[in-house]
Amino acid sequence: MTRPEKFPKRPTRIGVSLQGTLTTFDDRQFVVRVRDLSAGGCKVDLPDAEKLLAWENVTLAIGGNEKLAGQVRWTSGTQAGVIFLAPPPPL
pTM of the model: 0.81
Question: For each of the chain's 91 residues, which pLDDT tens digit applies?
Answer: 455 567 667 777 778 889 999 999 999 999 999 998 998 999 999 988 788 999 999 999 998 778 999 999 999 999 999 999 987 766 5
Assigned superfamily of 18-84? predicted glycosyltransferase like domains (2.40.10.220)
Domain ranges in the chain are 18-84
pLDDT at 22: 95
pLDDT at 2: 57
Strand partners, 20: 32, 62
CA-based end-to-end distance of the chain = 40
* 21 neighbors 58 (Cβ within 8 angstroms): no
Complete DSSP assignment for 21-70: EEEETT--EEEEEEESB-SSEEEEE-TTGGGS-TT-EEEEEETTSPEEEE
Which candidate, 34, 11, 14, places its Cα nearest to that of 82?
34
pLDDT at 11: 72
